[in-house]
Amino acid sequence: MKKIAVLGYGVVGSGVVELFYRNQKKIEINTGEQLEIGYILDLREFPGDPYADRVVHDIQVILDDPEVGYVAECMGGVNPAFEFVKRCLESGKSVATSNKQLVAEKGDILLETAKQHGVNFFFEASVGGAIPIIRPLHTCLAANDISSVAGILNGTTNFILEKMFCDNMGFADALELAQKLGYAEKDPSADVDGGDACRKICILSSLVFGKHVYPDQVYTKGIRDITLEDVQLAQKFGGAVKLIGAVKRLDDGKILPTVMPMVVMNESLLSHVNGVFNAVMVWGDGIDKTMFYGRGAGKLPTASAVLGDIIDEVKQTGTVLSQSWEPAEEGVDFVAPIDAFSAPRCYRTSPCGKGVFAKIAAEVGVELLGSAENGCMISVCDQKTAEAYKQKLAQEGVTILSRIPVLED
């Protein structure tokens, strides 16, 4: 009998325990091992809970038990999660985590620790909840040279933007509804300001391109400034505004990870991902492009991903080196600055005639892709050209109210 320890008995941790015992026989057949939840680490007591007798308050109890071979970390945050996970790995116990902040900030250290001790540190649940994306990137798609990844990585913002798109709700009203339905926290900053999506694109960038990408290296802009008028203008041009986390390899070999609102045209599958669902699009030289779609959060969807990692760890006889990356090299600029960003742009402006939009597009060397009385869309350009277009509009007496990049598909 091998034991699993669960660190944190909140929404995800309790989901892991619930789903394990619901499907214990299936899990044991899958792994070929008898398994049980040996310990649940939490500061609190849980009187009346069917698994209250498993609750402990000291990580040392778990570390000292040689029968514990696998740990599900569901605490969240960096401290004390980092210390606990590192000590578990050093004790020869594989760890599966749903903690995106931990992986984004300390993943390189924990992966190296796992390697040194012949165990595994898996994190499928840290990106996309129940969507399998981490494992496909380093197994199913391993024969591809992956050039870029982009996706809707935060269900809360996707729900808010859908309400603005479909129901003509303003941002504040849509956010209030998301909070009422339990999709957004009382303090929604991590979601609406882009921090949650930033951590997830850090993890995907690190895995795909092989070097650790930290959150402070990612240009991050949330959706607080998106207005109903922005959403309506995107609709006129045949698109929808989505918060997109993306990373792309540039011609010079550097990568550019970003999180920002983007106009996604209706031809893209991503434009049709609504509600609290997530989706990740991957571009590779063998596959062209493929999309992974599903519930990006929630108690049981996330627990499913955590237990999937535990099952995989039980089957392994050593460290899986493909699910890894190297630490960032000191003094090497692997991540390009936002000045290197290039894309089509959608401008929302004060009322203006189509002739002005077209004239200025010709002057700065871009193509006018579409126009309306209150805005226009221009073809692919870099940051410098986009700023020149904005300045020339201003010289014509046109007020620029917003400028949103368009996702190239």
Q: At what angle do helices 299-315 and 11-22 cross, to 10 degrees?
A: 60
Cα separation of 272 and 240, whole Å?
9
User: What is the Cα Rg of the chain in Å?
Assistant: 23
Among residues 100, 163, 200, 248, the one annotated as catalytic is 200
Q: How many CB atoms within 10 Å of residue 136?
A: 16
State how far the alpha carbon of 102 is from the alpha carbons of 2, 259, 277, in Å: 26, 19, 23
Please report which residue ranges of 220-273 form alpha helices under DSSP H.
228-236
Cβ-proximal residues to 145 (8 Å cutoff; 6+ apart), any chain: 284, 285, 286
To 10 degrees, the CA torsion angle through 207, 211, 215, 218? -90
How far apart CA 217 and CA 335 sit, in angstroms, is 7
Q: How far apart are CA 343 and CA 345, in angstroms?
A: 6
Question: Cα–Cα distance between 382 and 61 in angstroms, integer?
Answer: 56
- The rounded distance, in Å, linking the Cα atoms of 54 and 291 is 40
Q: Is 3 a residue of the active site?
A: no
Q: Whose structure tokens read 């535990």?
A: 310
Beta strands in 296-355 (DSSP E): 342-349
Q: What DSSP letter does each residue of 372-391 carry, written as one string?
A: ETTEEEEEEEEHHHHHHHHH
Whether omega for the bond prior to residue 66 falls within 30 degrees of 0, making it cis, is no
∠ CA 184-190-195 to the nearest 5 degrees?
140
How far apart CA 162 and CA 276 sit, in angstroms, is 9
* Residue 386 burial class via C-beta count within 10 angstroms: exposed 0-12, middle 13-18, buried 19 and up: buried
Instruction: Return d(Cα 288, Cα 285) in angstroms, integer.
Output: 6
Annotated catalytic residues are 200
